[in-house]
Amino acid sequence: MLEKSFLFKEWVPEWLVKITLFMVLLPGLVLFFLPLTNLNASAGNTGMETYDVYYSVVLFYAGYASFFSLERRFFNFLAAKEYFVIITFIQLLSSYICFMTDKTLVLFIFRFIQGMAFTMTVNLALTLIFMRLHSERARTIGYSIFFGMLVCMIPFNNFATSEIVDSFNFNSLYKCVMYSYLPALGLLLLLMNDVRINVKFPLYKLDWQSFLLYAAFLCLVGYIMVYGQQYYWLEDPVIRGCVGLIFIILTLFIVRQIYAKRPYFNLEIFRYRNFKVGLFLMLIFYICRFAFGITTNYFQFVLKLDPINIGYITLLNIGGIVAGVIIACVFVLAKRPIRLLWIYGFSILLVFHFWMIWLFTPQANESEFFIPLILQGLGVGLIMTPTIIYVVASVPEKYSASAAGICLFMRCFGFYLSIALINYFELLSKGIHYNTFQDHVSKQNPVLIQSVHKINHLLSIHGASVANTARMSNKMLVNTLNVQTQIRFAIDYYELICIMLVFTVILVALFPYINRTIMALTKNQPSPF
């Protein structure tokens, strides 16, 4: 058991250590989903398409997930203080380039590098935190705090960045992130001793081959999920080429893991049934979690709320997440069955999506969404941490690092899949409903004629000329159709989510063997990731 003075100077109080480590983590967490805070501003900053904005987040996730296993070798090679300085320098440099560049390719490259640096930051900072948490209770609370922070990042970013984006260019956010690294760096240089956490392990026989294969696999899968709908999937030769490369890379990667002496991931973990069940439920959860973006899009494009108002509304979602994380932590510490948490969490998400189906209308008051937003956060908070603990605990301790890496992959893939599903069903649903609405837009429709006359009358009252009235009323009619198709898409997608959640709750309720996994965290299991 390490003394506090081993890593930090003797005069440093415990509260200052915790604040410093929190300040180290926060900028990286903000960077994660930063481009999604305001899609239009992010895309307009470098002249990108909306798909490119999503792909920049995909690349960050790919860098984070692919570097997870290889990073531990660097972690064991460098002293903690030296490692922190190198990581912070990488993050500062990459954030500066993202701030300065207007080239999409350059942005993509350094978003991937930011993901790799985020892996380094998370592993080192949380290892230092978890070295100070010696009991199972403390470690469970540590897991809950970290993953609670992670799932709060999208609504927190909406709130924290809305005023900045409203007043400055979007790339100013990268400048703010750069400045936020400096206090943490100064404190680390002042407070930390120049010591090693582990015995120095030379950097030879690094498994760069597995890392490159895995990174290429994640980037290609992400590319297909983001751009597939835009290029009509397999009708495009580039998408077909990516699919072929994915099969080749995946085959080479699996063969390498089977025959390698020290594999990137030990594939023996897939022999454990509850591990696979946990991964499946995590995938379902991530699809539901990122479906929340449809609600925020509804606020922006249908209700015409500005990003500042949306940021304040989503604070309620953060409150729900915090409450859910606390309740889940209490359940885990009390050794309550994991099935109960899953049933409660997925049922609450089911209530949220079903409720939103009835709230999606062209006009609504903000207050009508307060309780649903809290419920969504509560459901997410109840599921996130216990599911990850369950996945890691469902395999023997010697496989826990591989289980953690595969768990991270499943979260990454869940994010990819949610983007693909939303893109696919958005185009499908909007196309169907737009054509249906157009069938009723004719001069023989008395309701339409009455609406057009009403619009023309209002325009003429406000001074519009006769020549402009017809053109303006047609444009307003098209905007009305677009709003209706957006609402119908949101309703259709949430109906599919509701059906999926009903089957998920039934599945969890009917299989009691899920409870056979003992959700206990030992000191040798990996810190959060």
What are the backbone dihedrals phi and psi of residue 8, each rounded to the nearest 5 degrees, phi first?
-120, 155
Residue 493's Cβ-side half-sphere holds a number of Cα atoms within 13 Å equal to: 29
Confidence of residue 1 (pLDDT cuts 50, 70, 90): very low
Class (C level, CATH) for 1-204: mainly alpha
Residue 117's Cβ-side half-sphere holds a number of Cα atoms within 13 Å equal to: 26
Taking phi first (over 0 means left), then psi (-120 to 50 degrees means alpha), and beta for anything else, what does residue 335 get?
left
Residue with tokens 């003992």: 518
- Token pair for 65: 């997930």
Angle 381-386-391 from CA coordinates, rounded to 5°:
135
Dump pLDDT digits (tens) for 478-492. 777 778 888 889 999
- C-alpha to C-alpha distance for 430 and 14, rounded to whole angstroms: 55
Closest Cα to residue 408, out of 51, 140, 122?
A: 122
Q: Which residues pair with 192 in a beta bridge?
A: 8
- C-alpha to C-alpha distance for 83 and 79, rounded to whole angstroms: 6
Is residue 147 within 8 Å of residue 282, measured between CB atoms? no
Mean pLDDT within 452-465: 67
User: 172 or 132: whose pLDDT is higher?
Assistant: 172
Q: Residue 193, Cα to own-chain centre: how many angstroms?
A: 34
- C-alpha to C-alpha distance for 503 and 165, rounded to whole angstroms: 41
- C-alpha to C-alpha distance for 517 and 396, rounded to whole angstroms: 11
Query: What rounded mean pLDDT belongs to the chain?
Result: 82
- C-alpha to C-alpha distance for 312 and 318, rounded to whole angstroms: 10
Residue with tokens 């359940």: 331
**Cβ neighbours around 379 below 10 Å, total:** 27
Dump pLDDT digits (tens) for 20-41. 888 888 888 888 888 888 777 7
pLDDT score recorded for residue 491: 92
What are the backbone dihedrals phi and psi of residue 192, each rounded to the nearest 5 degrees, phi first?
-90, 145
pLDDT reading at 528 higher than 50: no
- Provide CATH 1.20.1250.20 ranges for the chain: 1-204, 274-440+465-528
Dump pLDDT digits (tens) for 367-415. 889 999 999 999 999 998 888 888 888 888 888 888 888 888 999 999 9
Q: Characterize 75-87 residue by residue with b for buried, 16 or more Cβ atoms within 10 angstroms of its Cβ, and e for exposed.
A: bebbbbbebbbeb
Mean pLDDT within 180-186: 86
Confidence of residue 515 (pLDDT cuts 50, 70, 90): low
Taking phi first (over 0 means left), then psi (-120 to 50 degrees means alpha), and beta for anything else, what does residue 198 get?
beta
- C-alpha to C-alpha distance for 59 and 111, rounded to whole angstroms: 6
Residue 368's Cβ-side half-sphere holds a number of Cα atoms within 13 Å equal to: 13
- C-alpha to C-alpha distance for 184 and 186, rounded to whole angstroms: 5
pLDDT score recorded for residue 529: 53
State the Rg of the chain over Cα.
Answer: 25
Those residues with Cβ within 8 angstroms of residue 359's Cβ, 6 or more apart along the chain or in another chain: 368, 369, 372
Mean pLDDT within 123-129: 75
Classify residue 184 by burial, with Cβ atoms within 10 Å: 0-12, 13-18, 19+: buried
- C-alpha to C-alpha distance for 318 and 333, rounded to whole angstroms: 23
Q: Which residues pair with 8 in a beta bridge?
A: 192
pLDDT score recorded for residue 459: 66
Classify residue 342 by burial, with Cβ atoms within 10 Å: 0-12, 13-18, 19+: buried
Dump pLDDT digits (tens) for 134-168. 666 777 777 788 788 888 888 888 888 877 777 77
Mean pLDDT within 488-498: 92
Confidence of residue 69 (pLDDT cuts 50, 70, 90): confident
- C-alpha to C-alpha distance for 169 and 345, rounded to whole angstroms: 39
Q: For domain 274-440+465-528, which architecture applies?
A: Up-down Bundle (1.20)
pTM of the entire predicted model: 0.89
Element (H, E) at 134: none
pLDDT reading at 2 higher than 50: no
Residue with tokens 């047609």: 474
Closest Cα to residue 116, out of 82, 81, 72?
A: 72
Confidence of residue 502 (pLDDT cuts 50, 70, 90): very high
Output the DSSP codes for 25-46.
HHHHHHHHTGGGG-HHHHHHHH
- C-alpha to C-alpha distance for 222 and 335, rounded to whole angstroms: 37
SS (H, E, C) 45-105: HHCCCHHHHHHHHHHHHHHHHHCHHHHHHHHHHCCHHHHHHHHHHHHHHHHHHHHHCCCHH
Those residues with Cβ within 8 angstroms of residue 81's Cβ, 6 or more apart along the chain or in another chain: 188, 189, 192, 193, 194, 195
